[in-house]
Structure 1
Amino acid sequence: MSSYTFKPRLWPTIITLPILVCLLLLGNWQVERLDWKLDLISKIEARATSEPVELPQGMADQDELEYLHVTVTGRYDNAAEVTMYSVGPNGEPGYDLYAPLKLTDGRSIIINRGWVPEQIKDQNVRPETLVDGEVTIIGLLRKPWEKLWYGPENDPAGNMWFYGDVNGMAMHMGINAYFPMFLYADKIDSDNGFPVAGRTEFNIVNNHLDYAMTWYGLSIVLIVIYLIAHIRKKEQ
């Protein structure tokens, strides 16, 4: 019967050990990130499904307010409405309507009222979508976002917006005292017309478990290769 011996060599061992430690640390870090992401998802789901609260007076960490369910009361400035390119419920091209709501406390907040198809982008052909008088809007707070490196620039003059520059929109709308987040209006069950509201998706990527398994898997592969390289058959 053949017998084997394990004889580690100096330089392969010196190279392998720090690589192994790094792989294990990366795996442990992804496990910690997984716990953090699961906690974040739980908090967001709780915020989004809770009873709506009043809009905060002060500005806290926007991450802590993201998807918070709030209620506001005020009047729309329909003349200041802007449109952002968006894909509709059935993949149809169209636009999300953003309009400032002047609140009863003097501030304004920019409301994403919902989506309309491309052919009724112009206000003049959809007067029925404009809301006059005091209204109460319930929806989810959303953070502004920056332009993707490959995306087009916003074109305020042409009323073509492609990313959520809340400060740029506020300047274009001529509002000064405003809440620096968007409010995405909830869908009203009785409203089946345009704009189509309540389309917020919780696209929270959570690949940390896959990443952790990858790093741990590479650690196992490294150990197996190291062992194979240093196990030798004993000479008889």
Structure 2
Amino acid sequence: MKRVLSFRPRLWPTVITIPMLIILCLLGNWQVDRLHWKLDLIEKLETRMAMTPTVLPDADVADANTLDAWEYRKVKVTGHFLHTREMTMYSIGPDGKAGYDLYTPLLTDDDRLVIVNRGWVPEGLKMKTERPLSITDGEVTVVGFLRKPWGKAFLGPDNEPANNNWYYGDLDQMARSEGLEQVFPMYLYADETENPGGWPLGGRTRVKLANNHLGYVITWYGLALALFAVYMVYHVKFIPANGREE
């Protein structure tokens, strides 16, 4: 007997399936947009970091848009470190061990102040007395990348200026704690140039942005396709050509 396909949607499966399909497709579209945004961001940052070092900008860069435009730009400054005002921020080192990033104000040759992340030291070298060779005298030249301040992590610890224990990059708070005024509104992260005595370890700027959006695109669209397939299998049947189901 000849059979034909019959599609007879049922009310409640259809009422449930259509909104779910719309939501899954919208999520897939959103992840496509996020994928393009992330790829553009990675390309932009890699391009900036590959540029020739420039001088510290003279203009006021305090507004958010200008900070974004200068982040990860490579600059070169010359001046003197103010080692007596060194600040230590808890961080994880390149070998996965706990330690501290050293944030040291630098007075440039044109009398400007910029806080430099010189690099990382293990916990046993937090005190300057344990690493005397890291205290440089005289004029120094630092090449590195500009980085924006950042706020406290959710449920993260508060900064403890009185104990010189820092956990997040509140640049204004750090400047106030050391009596510094008119500080450049971004950090300068020194490059990998080796420091006297081997400490601190510079080069703390790494661009390793996670990009899982393609996987999310496949997941959401895949779920939408699977849901549609299940819906069709449930509602499509082969029936006799005379229209009566056996």
Is the shorter-chain TM-score for this pair beyond 0.5, marking a shared fold? Answer: yes
Q: Which runs of 5+ in 1 are unaligned?
A: none
Q: Report the alpha carbon displacement of residue 186 of structure 1 after superposing the two structures with TM.
A: 0.7
Q: Which moved more, 1:184-193 or 1:163-172?
A: 184-193
Distance in 1 (alpha carbons) for counterparts of 2:154 and 2:106: 31
Instruction: Report % sequence identity.
Output: 51
Distance in 1 (alpha carbons) for counterparts of 2:139 and 2:197: 21
Q: Report the alpha carbon displacement of residue 188 of structure 1 after superposing the two structures with TM.
A: 1.5
Distance in 1 (alpha carbons) for counterparts of 2:214 and 2:7: 34
Q: Report the alpha carbon displacement of residue 132 of structure 1 after superposing the two structures with TM.
A: 2.4
**Of 225, 229, 240, which residue of structure 2 is paired with 1:220?**
225
Distance in 2 (alpha carbons) for counterparts of 1:3 and 1:61: 66
| Structure 2 residue aligned with 1:174 | 179
Per-residue CA deviation, residues 37-77 of structure 1 (Å, 9 max, x unaligned), is: 11110110111122111122231532322211111122211
Is this contact kept in 2: 1:140–1:183, CA < 8 A? Answer: yes
Q: Secondary structure, in 3 states, of the residue corresponding to 2:208? A: coil
Q: Which moved more, 1:196-205 or 1:184-193?
A: 184-193
Distance in 2 (alpha carbons) for counterparts of 1:190 and 1:173: 24
Q: Report the alpha carbon displacement of residue 217 of structure 1 after superposing the two structures with TM.
A: 0.9
1:132 aligns with 2:133: no
Distance in 1 (alpha carbons) for counterparts of 2:195 and 2:112: 29
Instruction: State which structure, 1 or 2, has the greater radius of gyration over its C-alpha atoms.
Output: 2
| Structure 2 residue aligned with 1:51 | 52
**Of 156, 174, 194, which residue of structure 1 is paired with 2:199?**
194
| Structure 1 residue aligned with 2:103 | 98
Q: Report the alpha carbon displacement of residue 192 of structure 1 after superposing the two structures with TM.
A: 6.5
Q: Which moved more, 1:186-195 or 1:40-49?
A: 186-195
Q: Secondary structure, in 3 states, of the residue corresponding to 2:186? A: strand
Per-residue CA deviation, residues 84-132 of structure 1 (Å, 9 max, x unaligned), is: 1122232332211101112233331110011122222111232211122
Residue identity matched to 1:150 = L
| Structure 1 residue aligned with 2:123 | 118
| Structure 2 residue aligned with 1:232 | 237
| Structure 1 residue aligned with 2:90 | 85
CA root-mean-square deviation? 2.0
Q: Report the alpha carbon displacement of residue 36 of structure 1 after superposing the two structures with TM.
A: 1.3
Q: Secondary structure, in 3 states, of the residue corresponding to 2:177? A: helix
Distance in 2 (alpha carbons) for counterparts of 1:206 and 1:181: 26
Is this contact kept in 1: 2:195–2:201, CA < 8 A? Answer: no
1:211 aligns with 2:211: no
Residue identity matched to 2:91 = S
Q: Report the alpha carbon displacement of residue 172 of structure 1 after superposing the two structures with TM.
A: 0.8
1:143 aligns with 2:144: no
| Structure 2 residue aligned with 1:72 | 77
Q: Secondary structure, in 3 states, of the residue corresponding to 1:54? A: coil
TM-score (normalised: structure 2) = 0.88
Q: Which runs of 5+ in 2 are unaligned?
A: 240-244
| Structure 2 residue aligned with 1:31 | 32
Alpha-carbon spacing, 1:77–1:104, altered in 2? closer, same or farther (3 Å):
same
Distance in 2 (alpha carbons) for counterparts of 1:192 and 1:223: 65
Residue identity matched to 1:80 = R
Is this contact kept in 2: 1:4–1:231, CA < 8 A? Answer: yes
Q: Secondary structure, in 3 states, of the residue corresponding to 1:85? A: strand
Distance in 2 (alpha carbons) for counterparts of 1:158 and 1:173: 12
Q: Report the alpha carbon displacement of residue 211 of structure 1 after superposing the two structures with TM.
A: 1.4
| Structure 2 residue aligned with 1:63 | 68
TM-score (normalised: structure 1) = 0.91
Q: Secondary structure, in 3 states, of the residue corresponding to 1:177? A: coil
Is this contact kept in 2: 1:100–1:173, CA < 8 A? Answer: no
Q: Trace 1:13-28 onto structure 2 (pairs within 5 A).
A: 13-28=14-29
Distance in 2 (alpha carbons) for counterparts of 1:211 and 1:117: 38
Is this contact kept in 1: 2:134–2:196, CA < 8 A? Answer: no
Residue identity matched to 2:100 = Y
